[in-house]
Chain A
Amino acid sequence: MDHPIKRDHARFRKIVKGKIRDNLRKYVSHGSQIIPKGTDKFTVPMPSIDIPRFKFGDKSQGGMGQGQGQPGDPVDGQQDPNGQPGQGEVGEGEGNKELEVELSLEELARILGEELALPNIEPKGKKSLASVVDRYTNIGTTGPDSLRHLRRTYKQALKRQIATDSYDPENPAVIPIRRDFRYRASDTKVEMQNAAVVIYMMDVSGSMGDEQKEIVRTESFWINLWLKSQYKDIEIRYIIHDATAKEVDEHTFFRTRESGGTLISSAYSLCKEIIDKDYNPNEWNIYPFHFSDGDNWSADDTKLCLDLLDNHIFPASNVFCYGQVESRYGSGQFYKDLTAKYGATCEKLTLSKIKNKEGILDSIKDFLGKGK
């Protein structure tokens, strides 16, 4: 049986998750508060979980230290004005570090899913691939030396020596012989594989400012989080466009600032090319996302866009998501055009308007709420 503290610990984790759920809107609108740690862990700052007490305010208090230095010298490690001050509370071992909790991708995604009541995604049936994976979880008696498991080998040798009474506690030398050797061995597992690709397209024309891009960045963080929790393998591609489109890496995607006109069709045709080249719709779950402020160069180009969507992108993708970020300069015309053509409820198309950072959460729900 586990120690009772594990229950206290589980309870603590539950409270933490509850807190995150309660404050999800806040976390989402300030995406930078959640820090990815490695590939599938996140650190979430938790300012307010500790028990409140009457205590002294920090800054008026100052503190005491020991070491070299003259009046006016900064105290080490305190340079950051936003950092937590050293409390110097002599009687107490506890500083007032901000509590940081670690959550796994699954936990964070589950919170998002529960809060937004997101349905699990039904992968397109035929796109499930069975793949065979070898995992070295077993121990065998044969194998190459490079896979020899030393600890198990010596354990075996010790067992044998004790069993045959050749072990001498006075001189505890354990010498493995040939048949004591143990090797890591593989187990074969069949795993169902659902592969997905997200293709982000973003309008980087002059009318898309930093704030708009920040919204897209935050939103894509959460969308990626959710899709990663739904698919075992996920690939992410980025396209930026103004009058022409090009494929870029993540870093460039969020930082480029172009100017000039906007031809949305350029992005859509590049998207089509990428799908044609790399992602067979019969094997992949394809999620194109397009973020823009709704300005397009001409009605002709819009017609071209709709054409591309109808004939190429819709048939290939699970769902096509268009997010229109409100901007002072954008007309928002493209949203209207899409609505006019497809209506508000189209199988293959999800539309969402994102007014500001606070609107991100609702927009995520728009996009992912259909479970496709």
Chain B
Amino acid sequence: MSRTKPISGELLALKNQIEQYAIDYGLDFFPQIFEVCDYDTINILAAQGGFPNRYPHWKFGMDYDQLSKGYKYGLQKIYEMVINTNPCYAYLLQANNWVDQKIVMAHVYGHNDFFKNNAWFGNTNRNMMDVMANHGTKIRRYMERYGADAVETFIDKVLSLENLLDINELFETSALKRSRKELVDQEKVESEDDGYLIDDRSAALKSFMRTKARTSKKDEKKDEADDNLPAERTQVSTKDVLGYLIQHAPIEEWQADILGILREEAYYFLPQRMTKIMNEGWASYWHSTIMTQKALDASEIIDFADKHAGVMHMSKQNINPYKVGIELMRDIEYRWNRGMFGKDYNECPSMKDKIEWDTKLGKGREKIFEVRKSHNDISFIDEFLTPDFCERQQLFTYKYNPRSGRFEIDTKDFNAIKQKLLSQLTNFGQPIIEVEDGNYMNRKELLLNHIHYGVDLDVNFANETLRNLFAIWRRPVNLKTKYEEKEVIFHFDGKEFRPQS
């Protein structure tokens, strides 16, 4: 049963046209495949992170429930989905009108170019479509073997820890390389018989074999290590909590495999979480450029402006990544076109000169291509956010006022805004938590450390999360953090959650 179908006819012609514009502008992208589908299908795809096949889990059903309701009540509508794969798949809503389809296509080429060129995406697996499908098959098999409830319960626990990732894992560290080399060697040994070259195998197959190899390797190690287990678990410091658990938690092979699967998927989505502003900004910059300069028919201007404004709407409660992203991209382009950067410009005392500054440098386009290659949201904001920009965009921070019981605008000060924005983006918006000790108090307890940058954790959630962690670690678990200005260790021993100071 196919719920999506490749575009044909007029849409295909449109695609070719837009693609040519994208090429002319110098965008560099993976082969692009568009498919159309109805709204129910696009809700399904969105609920599953863009992929047609995922492992079975109720959370996809929950997201689907919310999306369908949002659509039904007219609160939200998804125009398009695009996935970071090669070739790059994008889904269009069949019911979109003609201008929408144009905007969406132009927008998608922006994303595609970003996926292909941004450094943080360098190591993502572009064959994720198959990998996700394989993951689904494997987990379904585990469900048949060990019972759907047991597997689902375990997945629930693991998902609870899904945000404890180390962004450095996205790049190959020497340790990672070494372990990969070991795996490759192992695969070579295994595959000598059938005479395949490793590199000829599909990435999906390799991913499948990797988890295989890892689990068998783990088994051997476990056998040897059984006697001196406490000695092996010692002080460490890794933010890759899932990776640590695969290695050290007392879990079954199938559980380790599921951990590996969910970890792989979490890391796959990580670059997208780290580049939301840039990615949406870049794609929006290109849909607006391509539409206004090339693709737009005069009769479509109003519709385009309407849709574009909808996407760019500003909210007082939230930063709209599309809006901030596109404006910052345009600002960079403008400044580098006119040479408005560097020592001379920054130290110029005259406001008038600064505003009229123009060295006819003309490097704007070049610069933003460079930016999209090497930055993530944090470095993007850190390097290019300017006081002028904050003022023009009317950015502000707000905070809770206990006296009035409401959220109120706090300040419009540039440094405060930048600080706030950066702290929200730090560690892709998640608390930084690392494994500190796998043999805490010499009792095989697990000690996590929350690196506190001024914002407390939600204690109820921390409690629930520790419970789930306990279910995997099977020994008491501890979380070191600061709460209301005080150092505290939250302890969960399987029965009781309590703070120890």
Contact = CB atoms under 8 A, between A and B. Distances in A.
Given A49-B62, A52-B464, A66 B395 contact: yes
Interface stretch (A81-89, A139-147, A235-243): A81-89
A43 B428 CA distance: 33
Contact of A74 (B161, B407, B424, B465): B407
Given A66-B323, A76-B317, A90 B276 contact: yes
Task: Report whether over half of chain B's contact residues are helix, strand or loop; otherwise say mixed.
Answer: mixed
**Chain B interface size, under 10 / 10 to 19 / 20 to 34 / 35 or more:** 35 or more
B457 A1 contact: no
Interface string B395-420: 11111100011111111100001001
Interface in A53-89: 53-81, 85-89
A60 B377 CA distance: 23
B19 to A, nearest CB: 27
B317 A3 contact: no
Interface stretch (A11-19, A179-187, A325-333): A11-19
Interface in B30-60: 41, 44, 47-48, 53, 56-60
Contact of B410 (A50, A66, A71): A71
Contact of A55 (B274, B320, B458, B467): B458
A50 B61 CA distance: 12
Interface string B329-341: 0000000000000
B393 A66 contact: yes
Contacts of B400: 58-60, 62, 85
**Highest count of chain B CB atoms <10 Å: which of A1, A86, A102:** A86
Contacts of B301: none
A11 B420 contact: no
Nearest to B272: A91
B314 A90 contact: no
A55 B457 contact: yes
Contacts of A99: 62, 66
A189 B368 CA distance: 69
A8 interface: yes
A66 B409 CA distance: 10
A87 to B, nearest CB: 7
B163 A63 contact: no
A7 interface: yes
A8 B60 contact: yes
Nearest to A82: B405
Given A57-B456, A65-B396, A88 B424 contact: yes
B395 A64 contact: yes
Given A72-B409, A74-B408, A65 B319 contact: yes
Contact of B417 (A9, A64, A73): A64
Contact of A3 (B3, B318, B323): B3
Contact of B394 (A61, A67, A73, A86): A67
Interface residues of A, number: 58
Contacts of A95: 318
Query: Most chain-A Cβ atoms within 10 A of its Cβ — which of B69, B273, B317, B465?
Result: B317
A57 B459 contact: yes
Nearest to B163: A53
B200 to A, nearest CB: 31
Given A54-B461, A64-B318, A75-B317, A11 B61 contact: yes
A90 B408 contact: no
Given A52-B465, A53-B160, A55-B458, A8 B61 contact: yes
29 contacts: A5-B44, A5-B48, A5-B60, A6-B61, A8-B56, A8-B64, A9-B61, A11-B61, A12-B61, A13-B61, A53-B163, A54-B164, A54-B462, A57-B456, A57-B458, A62-B400, A63-B317, A64-B396, A65-B314, A65-B397, A65-B398, A66-B319, A67-B316, A72-B408, A79-B406, A90-B321, A90-B425, A91-B276, A99-B66
Interface of B: 1, 3, 41, 44, 47-48, 53, 56-62, 64-66, 69, 152, 156, 159-164, 273-274, 276-277, 314-321, 323-324, 377, 393-400, 404-412, 417, 420-421, 424-425, 428-431, 433, 450, 455-459, 461-462, 464-465, 467-468, 479
Given A90-B318, A91-B274, 20 more contacts: A4-B53, A4-B56, A8-B58, A51-B156, A51-B160, A52-B464, A52-B465, A53-B465, A56-B455, A56-B458, A62-B407, A65-B316, A65-B317, A65-B409, A71-B396, A71-B410, A77-B316, A81-B405, A89-B424, A90-B421
